[in-house]
Structure 1
Amino acid sequence: MKVRMNVTGMIAVYFVIAAVVSAAETRPNIVFFFCDDLGYADLSCYGHPYAKTPAIDQLASEGTRFEQHYVTGVTCNPSRTGLMSGLYPARFPKYCADFGLSGRTAITDLLKKRGYKTGHFGKWHMGPDSMAENGTYGLDVVETIGKSKDKSAGRDDDVTTAAIDFIKANTGSQPFYVNIWGHSTHFPVTVPPELAAEFMEIKVKRSDFAPTMQHKFDECIQIGGDLDDSMRQYLGDVYSIDRNMDRLLKTIDELGIRDNTIVVFSSDHGPAPVILGKKGHREFSNNMLGYAGQLRGGKHEELEGGTRVPFIIRWPGHVPAGRVDSQNVTSFIDWMPTLASIAGINELPEQIDGEDISDIWFGQSRERENPLYWKTSSNGSAPVMREGNWKLHQNRKKEGGVQLYDLSKDPSESNNVADQHPDVVKDLKAKLDAWTAELPKSYEKIPDDKKKKNKSH
């Protein structure tokens, strides 16, 4: 038995080394399909009891599906800031939705220099509208497309079509990188009859969902919603995402570029709430039934439901097919260094927070080199970190100050074990304090009444 285990380990290591060597020699195309507010468990392959996502499920069966992947922020701009720059959003002294990346290098800048044709389609939210033009962040093409003209196909049909046109036009002698950043399932969710009709048989059985979902059902009813109809609306929006993924995958196959194209599917953070704090509810709020499974929290919260998202990657011959990675802890803070490694880019910005996890993508398992951190840029906001299986929330005023969770036993963050593990709290708090001490002491943001509304946000 011992010999067999050693041989198995050697084979795994050989596979990873071969994948790394091959990647360095091949500059693969990169297609990044990024959803807006899609919950961790909003897909069939991630456990939703009613969702219809056959194309995304197929992508997962042909690649690797990660179960512990994290975003860098719990609202739209910080999430995009972290993945594009490789820096935690809290490091920026100016709100990037208002000012952009303040001269920092983006992954697309690096890929452009490496010979990639680069394109961005859909939601922007990486600076003011005036920045969304050719040349920004090394992007050759930027089209901040809003809702589709043909409403029957869902709101991101035009975004996907434009991205497909870009892929067709740039398949050839040079590799390409493309962002496809849709608007589904951001508020408001209101789908055409053609999409809702796919789920007419749905009758919500509340026991089919985790306890963490029950308050959203209660709020839906509280503001006058009908659970069955609201669920059909939300699932219709998710289904439209899957239809677009189906078109995209078929295009890649038709062009004969499947084997040399990395396809990544994910979401920018957790699902939006039904009732948003003091703002109360708005029309269609009852349809915001995004699901994070057993994870507590969602958008605007650093709880697992807000920070952990679906993450699927396919690259035939490099990323293991049909694999479910439940062990490795990965993050979009690693997006820049990982893609740089795969594309053969040797020079990275002097300051970077992420790490190269290409070995993990290729099937290896290991501990992270550094903890993960979250904090909004607002002065006085509470920081959060994860190291190993421990998740520490500092100064959560509503729930009694410091909270410590063992995510290997309590992914819903329901049992605060800070009192039982004072040494762990002390160690993690010291690291969290050291990290926050590195952050800017002031923070600049343009007041809402002094800036133009950015429709692409």
Structure 2
Amino acid sequence: MLLSIRTVARGLLLLVMLLPHPLSLASERPNLLLVVCDNLGYGDVGCFGSTLHRTPHLDQMAAEGMKLTHFYVSSGVCTPSRASIMTGSYPLRVGMHVSDLGHKVLQPVSPKGLHPNEVTIAEVLKEAGYATTIIGKWHLGDQPEFLPTRQGFDSYFGIPYSDDMTQREGKPWPPLPLMRNEEVVDAPVDRNLLTKRYTEEAIRYMEEHRDEPFFLYLPQAMPGSTRAPYASDAFRGKSQNGPWGDSIEELDWSMGEILAALKRLDLEENTLVIWTSDNGAPRRNPPQGSNKPLKGWGYDTSEGAMRVPGIVRWPGRVPEGVVCDELCTAMDLYPTFANLAGDEVPDDRVIDGRDIWPLLTGHPEAESPHEAFYYYDRGDLRAVRSGQWKLYLPTDARGGPDAPELYDLVGDIAEEQNVAGDHPDVVARLLALCEPARESIGDGDQTGREAREPGWVENVTPRAKAD
């Protein structure tokens, strides 16, 4: 029997998807540019629904590339979320789910940080021959043993923790330091100029490394954690949404400058650019950021906290004007980048991320590589998603529903209808999916059998002031 052209084409497509992905690319390994904003919400830019903020460059980037509308970070708050980007693993698996003081994020002069034995994505790419740099907010430990330059980055320019962690009554922290590599070059840094300085530094880096493959990690400081975000003179007071809007419109300008530099340097045809946020916008009164149409705010396990906007651009490789509605995560960037670089992820530890290159290239047969995605708050498993369904777990004294709550995240994006009573089979299936996570990663007092330890130092040293 003769096969139809469609059948043959589908078969060839599946064969291509099974091949090692770097073989399908150009012989040159792509530059990898990852931009992660701080606390920027799902509905804070125009291409994701904002009518308040002018974001023409991000809107154009989305038109020329792909929007990820079911893209998740592993935590609703920054330290654990960033730990997952670096390690491809859930925060609890690498011990970065909580600070030494029990807080959700690390504070300045903490004895805790990302363990030096963790193999970061920067180390994987460096091993593959990439130049690596971070320009922006680190927040995975400010002691020398934990700095980016000890975790696979050739260079570092930025602040070691959140922009709101400044000296004030009851907080005897050092002045907010701007660092170059392991030295303080400005303290306290003028936060109004961070976006501008980071942008200039990023463009300078691309100019200097245009002839070799590079990994540029640009975790922006804004809109940040303060209640009055910062922006330079060119943007301050210019938006329709106060300081929050000012900072987002400057972030849009920043992305425009970086994309223009890629074109000017003849690098855009060989550079994968991914833009996203570390978690959703926090609750403020009056509201500043927006996670609409999602429910909830940053810092918890709601959709608004952990589902973030994602834009992917690589002319000729990532299709234009496409929306990916498959579940994928920031943890997936680790194995995806490794494969694009022609390297492999470590095989001596569990990596929770999965290669999503088939999704990013728009293959019609590509599906989410995750049977389940887990929502953790510190060390507690609070919810699980599988396919279209999200199940909030009953958590008794830990805060949460008294009984499981089930929502259809495709048909009910705002989570207005609890349908647990209508789908007991789905509830049972998702509850069963939680058990492997508890056994491997952990939950509450249960330690995961494949969890790893964070790093600790015995003596902490505050950052010195700049000369």
Matched, 1:143 2:157: yes
The amino acid that maps onto 1:315 is W
Contact 1:303 1:413 in 2 (8 A): no
Q: CA deviation at 1:144?
A: 2.2
The one of 209, 225, 232 equivalent to 1:170 is: 209
Instruction: Deviation per CA, 1:224-280: give whole Å up to 9, x if none.
Output: xxxxxxx232211100101111111111111111100111100001001115xxxxx
Partner of 1:158: 197
Distance 1:427 1:131, change over 3 A: same
Contact 1:26 1:343 in 2 (8 A): no
Contact 2:116 2:145 in 1 (8 A): no
The one of 268, 272, 285 equivalent to 2:282 is: 272
Long gaps (5+) in structure 2: 100-105, 107-111, 164-175, 179-185
Q: Give the 5 Å matches for 1:271-420.
A: 271-274=281-284, 286=286, 289-325=288-324, 327-350=325-348, 351-364=350-363, 365-378=366-379, 381-396=380-395, 397-420=399-422
Aligned equivalents of 2:155, 2:191: Cα separation in 1? 27
What secondary structure sits across from 2:394 in the alignment? strand
The amino acid that maps onto 1:87 is S
Aligned equivalents of 1:245, 1:369: Cα separation in 2? 30
What secondary structure sits across from 1:183 in the alignment? strand
Partner of 2:32: 30
The two structures, once aligned, show a CA RMSD in angstroms of 3.2
Aligned equivalents of 1:124, 1:70: Cα separation in 2? 19
Identity %: 28
The amino acid that maps onto 1:360 is L
Partner of 1:111: 125
The amino acid that maps onto 2:157 is E
Partner of 2:182: none
The one of 236, 259, 266 equivalent to 1:256 is: 266
Instruction: Deviation per CA, 1:28-68: give whole Å up to 9, x if none.
Output: 00111110000001001111012111111111111111111
Partner of 1:185: 223
Contact 1:119 1:141 in 2 (8 A): yes
TM-score, normalised to structure 1's length? 0.80
Contact 1:124 1:132 in 2 (8 A): no
Long gaps (5+) in structure 1: 203-230, 276-285
Partner of 2:167: none
Is the helix fraction higher in 1 or 2?
1
Contact 1:81 1:101 in 2 (8 A): no
Contact 1:341 1:356 in 2 (8 A): yes
Contact 2:283 2:297 in 1 (8 A): yes
TM-score, normalised to structure 2's length? 0.79
The amino acid that maps onto 2:28 is T
Q: CA deviation at 1:194?
A: 4.2
Distance 1:241 1:453, change over 3 A: farther
Aligned equivalents of 1:395, 1:451: Cα separation in 2? 39
The amino acid that maps onto 1:179 is Y
Aligned equivalents of 2:371, 2:191: Cα separation in 1? 46
Aligned equivalents of 1:398, 1:392: Cα separation in 2? 12
Aligned equivalents of 2:191, 2:113: Cα separation in 1? 36
The amino acid that maps onto 2:33 is V
Aligned equivalents of 1:347, 1:430: Cα separation in 2? 28
Matched, 1:198 2:199: no
